[in-house]
């Protein structure tokens, strides 16, 4: 992982047992766990940054969220706080602050992701509410985690309050990042994302080298790559919009027979940023990052030119003392034999309905949780 921050400045933003579940951690263990022996899955939250660091089926030892950054790999202005790891929350900004904000002590990706969160409420292995404040950033956030009592499904709602007496530009990004052994060269990505661009072409005009998932244009000569694959030697960030009201993305590991998926409303999170990071040609991190922005630059850059993509901006206006709530669903499911990929995902009264590519066979992950 030594080269994660050795990328160009554009990429440098970045990015269980059932015992005693949903109990407050002690001074050395900052992890809260949901799930019990009768559950099909367990979920772990590290209060350092409020990140999801473990999500696994009971019948397997494979955890997709093993990725983390050491203190030495973190940006200098983040090293006194929580590490970037697993699925963490970028709040206020996606990536680097402005020069003035850095001098004022603002960390990359916002204060809450760098802070220790508090347990507000725990209930019976299925509900956890945690919260954090960013005093310098003027942010208060409450995260409500509802865990299905039987199946490997979680619904998370983030309620964010602008505690400033003035409005400002703002962003929220779910920085879900998978690592080895779930991530390897055979890991496959499927999504209903549409038009997109590479981050290194995204500013000031993201439409210069536009394409549609799964075909990504990697250079000015028009060379394409298959964004579904994880065996590519070069690192990249590919950013996309959606034409559907519901967005979804999955990462599947044929080797481990496991699929991780996310579902959300695209009017809440219009962007998907697919980050592929390699070291010595081997994938070491893959970000499935959905949020309110598709260009990872400070607001000084985002407001200097009109860099909208298909009329969609890479920030929103957050008024004084306003509150915004956004939700998503995450799930795990075992991969069937000869799995051909995900063609579509729908939320139905019976649960999450996944249709395979090719065979068009449907599979249901039962749950009553919905958006």
The answer to whether residues 153 and 329 touch, using CB atoms and an 8 Å cutoff, is yes
Q: Is the pLDDT of residue 322 over 60?
A: yes
User: Quick check: is 241 in a domain?
Assistant: yes
CA separation for the pair 278, 286 (Å, rounded): 9
Residue 91: Cβ-neighbour burial (10 angstroms; 0-12, 13-18, 19+): buried
The answer to whether residues 179 and 284 touch, using CB atoms and an 8 Å cutoff, is yes
User: Quick check: is 160 in a domain?
Assistant: yes
- pLDDT average, residue stretch 109-117: 94
The answer to whether residues 354 and 362 touch, using CB atoms and an 8 Å cutoff, is yes
pLDDT at 40: 87
Q: Is the pLDDT of residue 1 over 60?
A: no
Residue 184: Cβ-neighbour burial (10 angstroms; 0-12, 13-18, 19+): middle
- pLDDT average, residue stretch 246-271: 97
Residue numbers of the domain that contains 261: 4-339
- pLDDT average, residue stretch 82-93: 95
User: Quick check: is 286 in a domain?
Assistant: yes
**What's the total number of domains in the chain?**
1
As given in the structure block, the two tokens for residue 206 are: 């993201």
- pLDDT average, residue stretch 274-298: 96
Location of structure tokens 């292995």:
125
Q: Is the pLDDT of residue 326 over 90?
A: yes
Pick from 87, 330, 331, 310: nearest CA to 194: 310
- Kindly list the strands in the beta sheet with 351-356, ordered across the sheet, starting from the edge strand earlier in the chain: 342-348, 351-356, 362-366
Pick from 272, 274, 228, 236: nearest CA to 254: 228
Distances (CA, A) of 188 to 29, 214, 229, 257: 33, 11, 5, 12
Range with the largest mean pLDDT of 21-25, 74-78, 138-142, 148-152: 138-142
pLDDT at 23: 47
User: Quick check: is 355 in a domain?
Assistant: no
Q: How confident is the model at residue 22 (pLDDT cuts 50, 70, 90)?
A: low
Q: Which helix (H) or strand (E) is 103 found in, with range? A: helix 99-103
As given in the structure block, the two tokens for residue 92 are: 């206020």
User: Quick check: is 255 in a domain?
Assistant: yes
Q: How confident is the model at residue 28 (pLDDT cuts 50, 70, 90)?
A: low
Q: Is the pLDDT of residue 196 over 70?
A: yes
User: Quick check: is 54 in a domain?
Assistant: yes
What is the three-class DSSP state of 93? coil
The answer to whether residues 263 and 249 touch, using CB atoms and an 8 Å cutoff, is no
Q: Is the pLDDT of residue 341 over 70?
A: yes
* Sign of the dihedral defined by the CA atoms of residues 238, 14, 281, 256, in that order: negative
**Residue 251 belongs to a domain with what CATH number?**
2.70.98.10
Q: How confident is the model at residue 175 (pLDDT cuts 50, 70, 90)?
A: very high
Q: Is the pLDDT of residue 37 over 90?
A: no
- Average pLDDT taken over every residue of the chain: 91
Q: How confident is the model at residue 15 (pLDDT cuts 50, 70, 90)?
A: very low
The answer to whether residues 83 and 74 touch, using CB atoms and an 8 Å cutoff, is yes
Beta-bridge mates of residue 121: 129
């Amino acid at each position: 992982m030594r080269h994660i921050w050795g990328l160009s400045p554009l990429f440098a933003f970045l990015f269980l047992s059932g015992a005693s579940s949903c109990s407050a951690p002690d001074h050395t263990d900052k992890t809260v766990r949901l799930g019990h022996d009768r559950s099909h899955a367990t979920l772990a939250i590290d209060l350092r940054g409020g990140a999801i660091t473990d999500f696994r089926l009971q019948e397997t030892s494979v955890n997709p969220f093993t990725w983390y950054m050491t203190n030495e790999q973190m940006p200098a202005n983040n090293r006194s706080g929580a590490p970037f790891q697993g699925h963490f929350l970028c709040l206020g900004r996606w990536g680097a602050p402005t020069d003035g904000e850095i001098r004022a002590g603002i960390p990359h990706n916002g204060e809450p992701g760098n802070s220790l969160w508090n347990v507000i409420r725990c209930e019976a292995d299925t509900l956890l509410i945690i919260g954090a404040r960013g005093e310098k950033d003027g942010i208060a956030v409450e995260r409500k985690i509802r865990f299905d009592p039987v199946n490997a499904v979680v619904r998370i709602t983030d309620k964010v309050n602008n505690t400033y007496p003035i409005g400002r530009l703002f962003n929220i990004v779910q920085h879900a990042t998978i690592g080895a052994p779930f991530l390897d060269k055979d890991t496959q990505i499927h999504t209903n994302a549409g038009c997109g661009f590479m981050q290194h072409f995204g500013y000031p005009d993201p439409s210069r080298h536009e394409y549609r998932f799964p075909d990504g244009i990697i250079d000015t000569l028009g060379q394409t790559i298959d964004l579904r694959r994880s065996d590519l030697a070069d690192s990249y960030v590919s950013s996309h919009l959606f034409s559907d009201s519901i967005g979804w993305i999955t990462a599947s590991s044929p080797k481990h027979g496991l699929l991780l998926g996310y579902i959300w409303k695209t009017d809440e999170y219009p962007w998907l940023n697919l980050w592929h990071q390699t070291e010595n040609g081997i994938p070491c991190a893959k970000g499935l990052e959905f949020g309110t922005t598709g260009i990872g630059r400070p607001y000084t850059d985002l407001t200097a030119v009109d860099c909208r993509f298909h009329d969609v901006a890479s920030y929103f206006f957050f008024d004084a003392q306003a509150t915004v709530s956004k939700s998503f669903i995450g799930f795990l499911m075992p991969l069937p034999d000869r799995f051909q990929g995900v063609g579509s995902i729908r939320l139905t009264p019976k649960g999450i309905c996944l249709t395979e590519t090719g065979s068009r066979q449907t599979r249901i992950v039962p749950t009553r949780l919905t958006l």
